[in-house]
Structure formats: C-alpha cells, structure tokens
Copies of this chain bind each other. A is one copy, B any other.
C-alpha cells in the first residue's frame, strides 16, 4: 500500500444520485480546486452508487465510469461515505457498514437519525470516525454545527423550529390569500411544492424527525422519533388564520424542544406567534430555528430547508470538514449523549391554547361549553363567537357558528380532556382546531 501524501486523494463515495446527490456531485467536481485548497489534499468523487445508472446520464459532471449499482461496495470502500438514499432500513445497513469499514459518514437522512441516531453516533465514536449531518435539519442552514461546536460553552434551554417548508408554504398561502387548507394544498401539489402523498409533511411527521435530532443534540440526551408528540396542520381553517391575523398573530407549524425542570420534551404542533416574533417573518418554503440559550440569549438561523443545490451546500460543507479531519488524522467532536436527561411527562407541558369549536348556535350552548372548561379547572382568557363560519367548513349546515376560546396557561392533558368533554356536548359538531399560544 502506497504511503499517504498531500497528493493522495480523499475518496468520497456517494450513495444516491437524486436531487441532492446530483448537486453534491456537481459541487465536489466543480469546486475541486477550492476544496483541495481548503482541505490540503484533493477531494475526489470516487464512486456513485445508484440503483439505475441511466439516471445519472443527465448529469454531465458525473463520470459514468464511477457509477455502480453496488451500494455496499461504495459504502465500504470510501474514505467518506455520503448517504443520500433516504429511508431507515437500507440506509442504516449501509451507514453502519461504512462506519465499520472505517469510513466517516455525511448524511442528510433525518428519518434515519431520528430513529437510529444514538446507535450510529456511538458506532462512529467507537470506530473513531466522523458522522456529520448538517442537511438533516433545516437543509442549507448551518445550524447543527453551531449547536455542536459554537454553543458548547453555553446551555441551550429551548429551540423553536420552522423545519418543514411544505407546511410553512401552505400556512403562508392561507394567510396571504385567505384560502382554506384543502385549496392551498391542491395548488401546492400542482406547483410541486407538496408531494402527491403529503401526509408526512402536513401531519407533522417530517418535522417530528427533525425535532428528535434537535433535542438529542441540544440536550445531549437520546430523543427518538417515538418520543415526539405530533400534531399537524390539517384542521386549520381560513377562519383560524383570520382570527390570528385580527390578533396580530401568525400560525406556524413548529418543532419545539425544551429542557425544563421536568425533563426534556420534543413536540410538533401548530402555534400562534406574535407577528413581531422573528419566526413570524419566515415566509414561503424557508426554514428557521429560533434558539434560546442561557448566556447567548435568543439566536435564529434562517435559510432554505430543501432543494438540491441548497441542501448540497450543507452536505459539501460537511464533506470538507470531515476531509480536513482525515487529512489531519483527527475527528470532530463526537455527539455527546452523556446527560441522559429524563423525558418530561405530557402533563408537564403548560401553555395557553386557542381552541375553535363548531357549535349549533342555540340557547345555553355557551354556558354548556364554558361549564366544561370550569369543571376541568381551565381558566378562559378570551372568548369570541362572532366569527362567521366559512361555507367550506366540513360539517357546515347553515346554522353552525364558530366559538373560539383562548385559555390561560394550562397543562396539555387537562386541555385535551376539556376539549374531548366539549366535543361530547350535543350542540358541538365537527373537529375543533387546537393552537398553542406562544408569547
């Protein structure tokens, strides 16, 4: 075996050549001289694993001679393996095999890390290789690296993220155009901003994967996708948005991770934010993460959460960092999970809530609804029955009114029990929407 010199290329093996993979290949090939200057050794795109090599013919910067269908071969014969195939089963196999072979790994796979992150981090640490995944949360936004490396002398107490561009686009369109959810979703699908099966986005599961990763890294504690409570945006109506606007608020789907006295929590839910909050200015498909830390106070990181070139920018940033470590014979900081904080019980989650019910407007209905709130000990901050129901409202029969109740802070379990009790009332119909109120 030849000795390693400053001329010896660091060999990058790419698993997957889709939207992000092809752009990652382009940056590595086109920025070749730049990368070599920054790393101190050449960084070479040595192999591209792709189930259908014909797919790569569209990309003139990918040399057909390095394309193969043998993913395992690439995973186990590279200095750096870039995993961009997605999913959790095959990806896990290839990533673990890569680490076992002594390769460092760069991945954008949020589902993989939300499910198997701690196992993968531990394997990388045991083997003395790097695992970097900037693109897994917030796409192009350099956010996880600062969290891992810049805030290490500080203590992060909470993070609020707009980490799903599809839902942010939908809520933004509902806000600016006054349209209902279903209309905007159809339009977003037509324009390619939402997938044919949008469930993973609109039900919050994509954001939940990111919440698990954010909590794990922010609190040095393993938090899995199974620990994340999730609510999506499908019950939000144009009337909810109009009510928010009237109160100078906006509705955003947030991934919220907190480190409180009762332990750590990771949740995804739609929330009402004041329109002066920095996250309120995050429009369209942009992402942003708002961080609170003890010493640094408020921070926010903003940028494109998806897209081939933006995500590839983050991937290649990781590749350069890992390549520098390889050239120097070292690794970056491991993902330290030494704190092992407890998970907070659901009853520890306190907030003010805005609940919108659909009611048949007959005598006594307000007394009955308010009675359920009183019986559960939930204090009402504001009530508004003036909103006109939109005719597209599911269950609308021409007599239905909306009743919107904003509570004082209460715990989530009690709030849900109260809402269930109200739904059991004769005069109440349809699905209520529940929004958390964030100050």
Specify which chain B residues have a CB less than 8 angstroms from the CB of A320 in the assembled complex.
Answer: 149, 152-153
> Chain B residues with Cβ under 8 A from A278's Cβ?
281-282, 302
Q: Is A134 an interface residue (CB 8 A)?
A: yes
Q: Which residues of B contact A304 (CB under 8 A)?
A: 296-299
B interface footprint on A70-96 (CB within 8 Å = 1, 0 otherwise): 000000000000000000000000000
A358 → chain B, closest Cβ, in Å?
A: 34
**Size band of the A side of the interface?**
35 or more
Contact stretch, chosen from A223-231, A305-313, A366-374, A416-424? A305-313
Are B299 and A312 touching (Cβ within 8 A)? no
With a cutoff of 8 Å between Cβ atoms, the chain B residues found around residue A151 in the complex are: 142, 313, 317
CB distance from A385 to the nearest CB of B (A): 33
A429 within 8 A of B: no
* Contact residue among B145, B280, B281, B313 (Cβ-Cβ distance under 8 Å from A149): B145
Contacts of A301 in B (CB 8 A): 299-302
The CA-CA distance from A153 to B149 in the complex, in Å, is: 19
B142 near A146 with CB under 8 A, answer yes
Q: Which of A27, A38, A141, A299 has the most CB atoms of chain B within a 10 A radius of its CB? A: A299
Could you tell me if B297 and A153 are in contact, using CB atoms closer than 8 angstroms?
no
Are B145 and A37 interface neighbours, CB within 8 A? Answer: no
Q: Check if A23 is an interface residue, CB within 8 A of chain B.
A: yes
| Chain B nearest Cβ from A312, distance in angstroms | 6
Chain A residues within 8 Å of B, Cβ to Cβ: 23, 27-28, 31, 34-35, 37-38, 134, 140-142, 145-146, 149-155, 276, 278, 280-283, 286, 288, 293-304, 307, 309-310, 312-321, 324, 328-330, 333, 336, 338
